[in-house]
Amino acid sequence: MSDFSKDGYLNMELLRFTTAGSVDDGKSTLIGRLLYDSKQIFEDQLEAIEQRSSQRGFEHVDLSLLTDGLKAEREQGITIDVAYRYFATPKRKFIIADTPGHIQYTRNMVTGASTANAALILVDARKGVLEQTIRHSFIASLLQIPHLIICINKMDLVNYEEAAFEKVVDEFKSLSSKLDIKDVSFLPISALLGDNVVDKSKNMSWYNGPTLMYLLENLHISSDENHIDCRFPVQYVIRPQQTEYHDYRGYAGRISSGIFKPGDKIKVLPSEEIATVKTIELFGEEIPEAYSPMSVTITLDRDVDISRGDMIVRENNVPNILQEFDVMVCWLNSTPLQGGGKYALRHTTKDARCIIKDIRYKIDISTLHRNEEDKKIGMNDIARISIKTTVPIFFDSYRKNRHTGSIILIDESTNETIGAGMIV
């Protein structure tokens, strides 16, 4: 593996990215190629997939086997669930979520994409933009993934022609004009043969842009967190049962956004009590400034009644505190969404219940139009709904804050997570 100094390793940034796109467009092969060409595959792993490929009589080593690790996936040659892979270059450490393209497994794509800073959307140069390409791109924009990289793949099958590339670029641009996307790049690649993945292609002299690896190493990700609105959902209250810490009360949690400092005047929700931050600490060490995504423990200057599910915010910058709001929801279960139905809801560290007051519209995936007539929301559908919760929820819109703007809906009888919601 590549050599890097200890100090260099400690200063690396983490980039989480996901693959997306229709079935067989080459997502898993691309991840395999990325790992292979950057020499991140171990000998025993490579031997195992070489053996497996030759047993099957393949011409090439099937690099998709590096992520398609389940028996059922290898048998069917498709990805079923997200596989996570890791690699590091001297610049960055990467967490890859390789997700399935098959429509049946869209919920697993949403799982992999929900925490990503970047998405690689693959398109087969021969087939162009397909329904799943649109669905995944729409989900990526709903999830507010800050960077999209459109990889136009299988260029080897269209003679590496610029016209084929441009045609897909145009198609995608007419789609993306209807989406809310901040940063898009387009790349012509062959995942199978490695063109423009880590090494510059010798077959496409007309292309002067960066390789995929270069892009991944150089995306600007430091501005992806919200450092303005201070939000600290209380996760756990620390009350030591040791006499020396008899009066200690620490509020443990992970900072959603903003920058907290000792001395800050804060407000506790829902009690609206005011207090001052005494210390921010972890393992006895005091932290001068705490920001997302740190996990810390906060102590206050006075005793306030605080429990899990409460939120600590700045006195003069509070989130919405409401029981009725609208949500864009991706439906993830084969049991359809029930208008008027009751569900369990989870928001930050808070559990509540909710009732579906209204199904406003469903997104027609082929046109991206709003359909206000069709209220049947089934598996993989995306809709805007209005909900009412049993207790007030302290939220920001998802666009402003991915942590305090997201919810999940849970079926109370099966306990399954059935909806992913982004508060409008």
Partner 1 sequence: MILYHLNHLRELEAEAIYIIRETASQFERPAMLFSGGKDSIVMTHLARKAFYPARIPFPLLHIDTGHNFPETIEFRDKMVAEIGANLIVRNVQDSINSGRAKEEKGPNASRNMLQTITLLDALEELKVDAAMGGARRDEEKARAKERFFSHRDEFGQWDPKNQRPELWMLLNGRKHQGEHFRVFPLSNWTEMDVWMYIAMEKIDIPNIYFTHQREIVKRDGMLLANSEYITVRETEKAEMMTVRFRTIGDMTCTGAVLSPANSLQQIIEEVAASKTTERGTRSDDKRSETAMEDRKKAGYF
Q: Which residues sit at the interface with ligand GTP, rule CB under 6 A?
A: 23-29, 64, 78-79, 100-102, 122, 153-154, 156-157, 190-192
C-alpha pair distances (Å), 249 with each of 85, 128, 280, 300: 39, 58, 12, 8
Residue among 23 and 184 whose Cβ is closer to ligand GTP: 23
Q: Of ligand GTP, partner 1, Mg ion, none, which one sits near residue 23, judging by CB under 5 to 8 A according to partner kind?
A: ligand GTP
Q: At closest approach, how far in Å is the CB of 345 from ligand GTP?
A: 31
CA distance 152 to 136: 15
Q: Of partner 1, Mg ion, ligand GTP, none, which one sits near residue 402, judging by CB under 5 to 8 A according to partner kind?
A: partner 1
Closest C-alpha among 244, 303, 292 to residue 401: 292
Q: At closest approach, how far in Å is the CB of 413 from Mg ion?
A: 33
240 binds partner 1 (CB under 8 A): yes
75 binds partner 1 (CB under 8 A): no
Residue among 216 and 275 whose Cβ is closer to ligand GTP: 216
Find the binder of partner 1 among 241, 243, 316, 366 (CB under 8 A): 241
CA distance 404 to 398: 7
Interacting residues of 265 by C-beta distance below 8 A, sequence separation 6+: 274, 275, 276, 314, 315
**Candidates 23-31, 151-159, 183-191, 291-299; binding stretch for partner 1 (CB under 8 A):** 291-299
CA distance 129 to 171: 7
Residue among 275 and 410 whose Cβ is closer to partner 1: 410
67 binds partner 1 (CB under 8 A): yes
Question: What's the token pair of residue 131?
Answer: 């329904």
Asked whether the CA dihedral 37, 43, 46, 51 is positive or negative, the reply is positive
Q: At closest approach, how far in Å is the CB of 292 from partner 1?
A: 8
**Residues in contact with partner 1, shown as a per-residue x/- string from 3 to 32 under the rule CB under 8 A:** xx-x--xxxxxx------------------
Q: At closest approach, how far in Å is the CB of 118 from partner 1?
A: 15
Any idea what DSSP says for residue 157?
G
Q: At closest approach, how far in Å is the CB of 29 from Mg ion?
A: 8
Q: At closest approach, how far in Å is the CB of 24 from ligand GTP?
A: 4
Helix and strand numbers, DSSP H then E, in the chain: 8, 23
132 binds partner 1 (CB under 8 A): no
Report CA 120 to chain centroid distance, whole Å. Answer: 12
**Residues 313-342 interacting with partner 1 (rule: CB under 8 A):** 332
**Residues in contact with partner 1, shown as a per-residue x/- string from 189 to 228 under the rule CB under 8 A:** ---------------------------------xx-x-x-
Q: Which residues pair with 423 in a beta bridge?
A: 327
Q: At closest approach, how far in Å is the CB of 328 from ligand GTP?
A: 24
Residue among 58 and 84 whose Cβ is closer to partner 1: 84
CA distance 306 to 92: 39
Find the binder of partner 1 among 169, 193, 259, 352 (CB under 8 A): 259
Classified as helix, coil or strand, 341 is coil
Residue among 69 and 209 whose Cβ is closer to partner 1: 69
Q: Of ligand GTP, partner 1, Mg ion, none, which one sits near residue 287, judging by CB under 5 to 8 A according to partner kind?
A: none
Single-letter amino acid code for the residue at 277: V
Please, are residues 322 and 393 in contact by the beta-carbon 8 Å criterion? yes
Interacting residues of 85 by C-beta distance below 8 A, sequence separation 6+: 31, 35, 66, 67, 95, 96, 98
Find the binder of partner 1 among 23, 95, 130, 368 (CB under 8 A): 95
| Cβ neighbour number for residue 247 with a 10 Å cutoff | 7
Q: Which residues pair with 236 in a beta bridge?
A: 252
Residue among 36 and 260 whose Cβ is closer to ligand GTP: 36
Report CA 80 to chain centroid distance, whole Å. Answer: 18
Number of shown-chain residues binding partner 1 (CB under 8 A) = 83
Q: At closest approach, how far in Å is the CB of 194 from Mg ion?
A: 17
Please, are residues 263 and 277 in contact by the beta-carbon 8 Å criterion? yes
